[in-house]
Structure formats: C-alpha cells, structure tokens
Amino acid sequence: MKKLARFEAAVNGLMAVLLSCMGLFVFTNVVLRYLFNSGLTWAEELSRFLFIWLIFLGAIEALKDNNHLGFTSFVQKLPPTAKKACFIVSNSLMVVCLVVLFQGSVEMTLLSQYTLAPATGLPLSVMYSVGIVSSIGMFLVICCNLYRALFVKGAIDELVVLKESEEEITLKTDAKGEAMQ
C-alpha cells in the first residue's frame, strides 16, 4: 500500500507541475501577444502536449477515486454476490479496453518517434507515449480493485459507490445544516 501511495503522490505531483507549467506558458503568451504583439510559437504547442498528459494522468486518479461515470444506482441494489459479479465483469471489460489503448499507443509511439512537432521540435512520440503510461497506471488500479473485490471481505460495498450530487446532499440536510439521520 505504501508503494501505491507513493505512486499516487508522484502522479499528483506531476499533474501539479504540468498544470503550473501550462498556466505559465499560456499566461506568458497572452501577455506577450497583447502587450508586445508577439508570442512564443512553441508555448502553445507545448501547452497542448502538457494538457494531453494532464488529462490522461487525471484519468488514472479519477479511476482510483472511483470518479468516472458509472451506472451504480442499479448495481448498489443487487445482493453482494451479484455486485461482485458486475464489478468483475465491468473491470474485465475495462482491462480489454486498456490492452487496446496500450497496443495502439505503443504503435503510435514507435511510428512517430522520428516525426517532430513543428514548433517545439519534440518527437511526437512524447505525446503518444502518455497512452502507454495511462494504460499501465489504470491497469494497476483495476488490478488492486479486483484484488480487493475478490479477497477483502466487504470491500465490494466501498468499490461500488454511488456519488451523490450536491443537490441531493442539500435536500438531505435540515434547516440547521445538520445531516439528517
């Protein structure tokens, strides 16, 4: 579990650095365009690359926190055995999709390793390799979740969680703002 926490901290740290750099590049480019009628040609392209990496790394974190869209209201009403079966089937399908993503990303990374981006001169394989990183990261998260579902008693109820919207939470509070029992 400590290794998983380190992995999570590393991904979160990398996402913070990418977001900071992206914001700095975009802000600098906007200032240069409006004040000096010029800009950094590479800043827009590099910001785009950072944004793509940020999205794919964020998908790993969203999967880990169970924040992806899902149809859990039906699954939560099932008995524990059926919940476990649905969870295993859906996660197995996600593994199949991740294998396809991994294979396609490897092919695109290899095909584009000698193709350079026009403004930065970076190999386009830098952009496509994020699919490899994210598919491996999501695969690890799914494996941990499947292990918990299969071997940890009562973990299926934590894994199949219905995220409530703020409106529903507001309706469940009384006039004093205290949660109703």
Q: Give pLDDT tens digits along the chain (181 positions).
A: 677 788 888 889 999 999 999 999 999 999 999 999 888 889 999 999 999 999 999 999 999 888 877 777 788 788 888 989 999 999 999 999 999 999 999 999 999 999 999 999 999 999 999 999 999 999 999 999 999 999 988 888 788 876 555 555 555 555 455 554 4
Q: What is the pLDDT of residue 159?
A: 82
Q: What is the pLDDT of residue 69?
A: 74
Does some domain include residue 17?
yes
Rounded Cα distance between 138 and 118, Å, is: 31
The number of domains in the chain is 1
Report the amino acid identity of residue 94.
M
Does some domain include residue 169?
no
Does some domain include residue 57?
yes
| Domain with 116 in it | 2-162
Does some domain include residue 123?
yes
Q: What is the pLDDT of residue 164?
A: 59
Does some domain include residue 71?
yes
Tokens standing for 153? 């008693």
Does some domain include residue 145?
yes
Cα–Cα distances in Å, from 54 out to 18, 139, 172? 7, 18, 35
Q: What is the pLDDT of residue 181?
A: 47
